[in-house]
């Protein structure tokens, strides 16, 4: 298409609609459709429906009351209807005169004495104006660009595109196989759908023409992501052979037996490690499913082959906790474990960095401090990232690039996520990775009872805590982030802390929050783990990974404002031992319908996957992942939830096209994913 297809004035307006190219304009699909192809009889029309009628104006008058009104009565052979205009121009009074015949389109309402339409569209009947033969598209538009002009511009673009054959199909065989129409046919039909279509299907984007466009976009997404996935294989990584002797020497000292799925996922990881190209695997499993030990067992294999491992956690508390656990596990094997976190003194950091450089430290556990410039590994061959579901594709690629040995070998990458990722998301946002799933909890875990309490029942809760503490158990009191205000969160936590201190003896209650120094946090966590502190008031810093099996009660404040997956994660901090656990979710009265629905979901479900699906439905993918910019450019036509069936097909077809190295893949990506070019690897 010629570059200067739009006038400068059009270009400015179109830009407001995110339309930069002709193809963008062709993809600017109607928000909905109106059926102006038929006329209904007034006696048959029902309130709530959008319909078209035709009749003669039998009365038109302006009412002057507190609000000026233009009232028009229209009659057809079957009955009469009122048209009401609250805002009107003088010209409308001249158009809507008694005796003239008009066609009216609008929503039917019932007022007390007759049927009525408020601000309907209308047209005077002239000899030559026939009913449209296609449904009328209604477009999202912007000030200064009328429906009519936008419509005209779109049909002009379609004509031009057809004339120049600009948008022919790149993969005709695939569309044929999937029974999908040609691209331009689909686009044309979407912008002016014939009466054969069902209008409901059109409005739900379920017609075959919409399906073609949705599929096409998903195919582009999959070609991009699966392309990244397959492309990894051209990079080099250290192949790591699995040694069963080493594995056995570890598990013989382990305090528990592995679950079947822990064994399976370990095997999947170790199979990847054998390759001479980098692994990129996501290990996902519900909270408490035991992912850490799986990662550590893989790490042991790498270390015993003579290479280093980095293990990154999202928070210092979690890094410290992993550190003490891993040290305890690996000491008998003579493996040196090191901790590197941001809050360490510079001199201590330096010592660790030196050990990493010389290869003296074999596994380093830390926060993102691990991946700063000052840290260079002697022979890093695996890095593990815990709780990483918030990372986007781009960040993943960047991390991958930053971790070479000798500028030649990339490290293998293992990521873990306790937020179960619904299948639709793992197929889209995570399609560049392999996925292993642990879908069971270790045996003997208690099902957590969840209770919903309104704010007013705080007294009862204190008694309940007392009971638990007298039984030797411990409790968490969580004050989550409220409206993104850390100060407010801290205030709530501090108030709760002092209330609890008054009620219980002083030394039994601890407080831990994000503003504390890491050493302070650690000492409190230690006391809680050691059962010195019985009740721990915490901000959401404990959200991920903290492990205290003796804690059996959790109170969560303001639960109605939290994401479901986050609530589920928090709840997963209890029910880790043999004793029965209870989670009390406090909510403010006057819940909205959505909040009610959300709490109901968390109350009724214990399965993280189910909760994640619901959460995704309520919040959408961006927010679900905790990222606005996911690294995967947004989809314009497709909706991964609604269109998951097409997503499956697209993934399969993309893999096939990549395998056969289809020469048009680049063209298809360029057509659909203009922002992918900037994003794609250098």
Binding residues (CB under 6 A) for ligand ADP: these are 256-259, 262, 285, 287-293, 418, 442, 545, 547, 576
Cα–Cα distance, 327 to 317 (Å, whole number): 15
Q: Least separation, in Å, of the C-beta of 409 and ligand ADP?
A: 28
Our CB check for ligand ADP shows the closer of 176 and 256 to be 256
Binders of Mg ion: how many residues, by CB under 5 A? Answer: 1
Which among Mg ion, ligand ADP, none contacts residue 27 (Cβ within 5 to 8 A by kind)?
none
Which among Mg ion, ligand ADP, none contacts residue 547 (Cβ within 5 to 8 A by kind)?
ligand ADP
CA angle (390 as vertex; 381, 621 as ends), nearest 5: 135
Our CB check for ligand ADP shows the closer of 318 and 562 to be 318
Cα–Cα distance, 160 to 170 (Å, whole number): 19
Our CB check for Mg ion shows the closer of 232 and 322 to be 322
Element (H, E) at 453: strand 449-454
Element (H, E) at 405: strand 404-405
Which among Mg ion, ligand ADP, none contacts residue 158 (Cβ within 5 to 8 A by kind)?
none
Give DSSP secondary structure letters for 117-158: EES-EEEE--TT-PPPSBPEEE----TT--HHHHHHHHHHHH
Which among Mg ion, ligand ADP, none contacts residue 608 (Cβ within 5 to 8 A by kind)?
none
Our CB check for Mg ion shows the closer of 295 and 585 to be 295
Q: Least separation, in Å, of the C-beta of 320 and ligand ADP?
A: 14
Which residues are 436's β-sheet partners?
283
Our CB check for Mg ion shows the closer of 389 and 513 to be 389
Which among ligand ADP, Mg ion, none contacts residue 417 (Cβ within 5 to 8 A by kind)?
none
Q: Least separation, in Å, of the C-beta of 546 and ligand ADP?
A: 9
Cα–Cα distance, 137 to 193 (Å, whole number): 8
Of the ranges 258-266, 458-466, 541-549, 629-637, which one interacts with Mg ion (CB under 5 A)? 541-549
Q: Least separation, in Å, of the C-beta of 418 and Mg ion?
A: 6
Cα–Cα distance, 107 to 436 (Å, whole number): 52
Which among ligand ADP, Mg ion, none contacts residue 30 (Cβ within 5 to 8 A by kind)?
none
* Tokens 């010629």, residue located: 2
Tokens describing residue 458: 């705080």
Q: Least separation, in Å, of the C-beta of 376 and ligand ADP?
A: 28
Which among ligand ADP, Mg ion, none contacts residue 630 (Cβ within 5 to 8 A by kind)?
none
Task: Tell me: does residue 227 bind Mg ion (CB under 5 A).
Answer: no
Cα–Cα distance, 169 to 165 (Å, whole number): 10
Task: Tell me: does residue 422 bind Mg ion (CB under 5 A).
Answer: no
Q: Least separation, in Å, of the C-beta of 565 and ligand ADP?
A: 13
Q: Least separation, in Å, of the C-beta of 356 and ligand ADP?
A: 24
Our CB check for Mg ion shows the closer of 293 and 478 to be 293
Tokens describing residue 272: 């990847």
Of the ranges 16-24, 34-42, 529-537, 543-551, which one interacts with Mg ion (CB under 5 A)? 543-551
Which among Mg ion, ligand ADP, none contacts residue 141 (Cβ within 5 to 8 A by kind)?
none
By C-alpha distance, which of 422, 440, 423, 403 is closest to 279?
403
Please, what sign has the CA dihedral across residues 430, 431, 434, 436?
positive
Cα–Cα distance, 353 to 340 (Å, whole number): 8
Which among Mg ion, ligand ADP, none contacts residue 259 (Cβ within 5 to 8 A by kind)?
ligand ADP
Which among Mg ion, ligand ADP, none contacts residue 442 (Cβ within 5 to 8 A by kind)?
ligand ADP
Q: Least separation, in Å, of the C-beta of 283 and ligand ADP?
A: 9
Q: Least separation, in Å, of the C-beta of 310 and ligand ADP?
A: 17
Our CB check for ligand ADP shows the closer of 260 and 634 to be 260
Helix (H, G, I), strand (E, B) or coil at 357: helix
Assess contact for 15 and 145: CB atoms under 8 A. Answer: no
Q: Least separation, in Å, of the C-beta of 626 and ligand ADP?
A: 17
Which among Mg ion, ligand ADP, none contacts residue 95 (Cβ within 5 to 8 A by kind)?
none
Of the ranges 43-51, 246-254, 295-303, 544-552, which one interacts with Mg ion (CB under 5 A)? 544-552
Of the ranges 49-57, 182-190, 242-250, 537-545, which one interacts with Mg ion (CB under 5 A)? 537-545
Our CB check for ligand ADP shows the closer of 108 and 478 to be 478
By C-alpha distance, which of 306, 275, 316, 281 is closest to 295?
281
By C-alpha distance, which of 333, 378, 365, 386 is closest to 544?
386
Residue nearest to Mg ion (CB): 545
CB burial of 261-281 (b: ≥16 within 10 Å; e: otherwise) equals bbeebbebbbebbebebbbbb
Our CB check for ligand ADP shows the closer of 339 and 646 to be 339
Of the ranges 10-18, 221-229, 510-518, 542-550, which one interacts with Mg ion (CB under 5 A)? 542-550
What stretches of 483-592 show up as alpha helix (H) in DSSP? 486-503, 518-529, 564-571
Assess contact for 137 and 191: CB atoms under 8 A. Answer: yes
Residue nearest to ligand ADP (CB): 290
Our CB check for ligand ADP shows the closer of 464 and 576 to be 576
Q: Least separation, in Å, of the C-beta of 673 and ligand ADP?
A: 35
Cα–Cα distance, 595 to 587 (Å, whole number): 10
Our CB check for ligand ADP shows the closer of 222 and 259 to be 259
Q: Least separation, in Å, of the C-beta of 301 and ligand ADP?
A: 18
Assess contact for 190 and 167: CB atoms under 8 A. Answer: no
Task: Tell me: does residue 545 bind Mg ion (CB under 5 A).
Answer: yes
Our CB check for ligand ADP shows the closer of 168 and 256 to be 256
Q: Least separation, in Å, of the C-beta of 573 and Mg ion?
A: 11
Tokens describing residue 220: 């582009």
Assess contact for 176 and 213: CB atoms under 8 A. Answer: no
Give DSSP secondary structure letters for 203-216: HTT-SHHHHHHHHH
Which among ligand ADP, Mg ion, none contacts residue 256 (Cβ within 5 to 8 A by kind)?
ligand ADP
Cα–Cα distance, 179 to 626 (Å, whole number): 37
* Tokens 């030559």, residue located: 128
Give DSSP secondary structure letters for 469-510: HHTT-EEEEE---BTTBHHHHHHHHHHHHHHHHHHS-GGGEE
Cα–Cα distance, 50 to 272 (Å, whole number): 58
Q: Least separation, in Å, of the C-beta of 397 and Mg ion?
A: 24
Residues lying near Mg ion in the complex (CB under 5 A):
545
């Amino acid at each position: 298409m010629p570059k200067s297809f739009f006038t400068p004035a059009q270009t400015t307006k179109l830009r407001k609609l995110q339309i930069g190219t002709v193809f963008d304009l062709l993809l600017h699909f109607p928000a909905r459709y109106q059926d102006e192809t038929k006329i209904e009889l007034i006696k048959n029309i029902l309130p709530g429906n959008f319909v078209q009628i035709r009749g003669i104006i039998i009365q038109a008058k302006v009412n002057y009351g507190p609000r000026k009104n233009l009232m028009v009565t229209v009659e057809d052979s079957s009955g009469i209807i009122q048209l009401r205009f609250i805002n009107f121009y003088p010209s409308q009074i001249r158009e809507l005169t008694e005796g003239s015949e008009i066609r009216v389109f609008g929503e039917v309402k019932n007022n007390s004495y007759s049927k009525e339409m408020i601000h309907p569209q209308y047209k005077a009947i002239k000899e030559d104006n026939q009913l449209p033969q296609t449904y009328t598209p209604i477009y999202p538009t912007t000030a200064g660009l009328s429906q009519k002009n936008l419509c005209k511009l779109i049909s002009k673009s379609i004509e031009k595109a057809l004339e120049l054959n600009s948008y022919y199909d790149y993969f005709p065989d695939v569309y044929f196989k999937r029974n999908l129409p040609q691209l331009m046919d689909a686009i044309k039909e979407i912008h002016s759908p014939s009466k054969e279509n069902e209008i409901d299907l059109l409005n739900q984007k379920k017609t075959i023409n919409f399906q073609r466009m949705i599929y096409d976009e998903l195919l582009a997404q999959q070609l991009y992501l699966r392309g990244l996935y397959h492309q990894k294989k051209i990079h080099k990584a250290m192949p790591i052979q699995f040694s069963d002797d080493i594995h056995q020497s570890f598990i013989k000292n382990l305090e528990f037996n592995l679950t079947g799925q822990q064994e399976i996922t370990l095997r999947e990881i170790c199979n990847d490690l054998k390759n001479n190209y980098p692994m990129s695997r996501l290990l996902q499993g519900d909270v408490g499913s035991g992912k850490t030990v799986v990662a550590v067992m893989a790490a042991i294999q790498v270390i015993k082959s003579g290479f280093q491992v980095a293990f990154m956690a999202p928070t210092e508390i979690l890094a410290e906790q992993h550190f003490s656990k891993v040290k305890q596990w690996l000491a008998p094997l003579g493996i040196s474990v090191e901790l590197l976190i941001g809050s360490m003194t510079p001199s201590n950091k330096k010592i660790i960095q030196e050990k990493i450089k010389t290869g003296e430290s074999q596994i380093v556990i830390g926060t993102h401090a691990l991946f700063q410039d000052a840290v260079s590994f002697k022979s890093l061959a695996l890095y593990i990232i815990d709780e990483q579901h918030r990372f986007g594709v781009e960040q993943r690629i960047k991390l991958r690039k930053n971790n070479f040995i000798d500028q030649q070998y990339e490290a293998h990458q293992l990521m873990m996520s306790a937020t179960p990722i619904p299948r639709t998301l793992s197929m889209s946002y995570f399609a560049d990775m392999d996925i292993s799933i642990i879908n069971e909890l270790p045996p003997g875990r208690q099902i957590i009872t969840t209770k919903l309490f309104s704010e007013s029942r705080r007294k009862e809760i204190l008694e309940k805590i007392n009971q638990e503490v007298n039984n030797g158990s411990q409790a968490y009191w969580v004050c989550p982030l409220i409206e993104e205000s850390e100060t407010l969160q801290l205030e709530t936590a501090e108030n709760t802390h002092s209330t609890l201190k008054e009620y219980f003896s002083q030394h039994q209650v601890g407080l831990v929050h994000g503003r504390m120094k890491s050493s302070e946090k650690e000492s409190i966590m230690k006391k809680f783990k050691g059962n010195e502190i019985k009740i721990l008031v915490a901000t959401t810093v404990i959200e991920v990974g903290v492990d205290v099996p003796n804690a059996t009660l959790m109170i969560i404040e303001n639960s109605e404002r939290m994401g479901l997956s986050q609530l589920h994660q928090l709840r997963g901090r209890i029910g880790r031992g043999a004793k029965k656990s209870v989670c009390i979710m406090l909510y403010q009265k006057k819940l909205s319908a959505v909040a009610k629905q959300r709490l109901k979901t968390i109350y009724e479900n214990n399965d993280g996957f189910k909760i994640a699906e619901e959460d995704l439905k309520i919040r959408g993918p961006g927010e679900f992942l905790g990222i606005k910019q996911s690294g995967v450019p947004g989809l314009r036509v497709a909706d991964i939830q609604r269109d998951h069936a097409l997503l499956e097909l697209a993934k399969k077809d993309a893999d096939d096209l990549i395998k056969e190295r289809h020469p048009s893949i680049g063209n298809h990506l360029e057509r659909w994913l203009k922002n992918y070019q900037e994003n794609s690897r250098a």
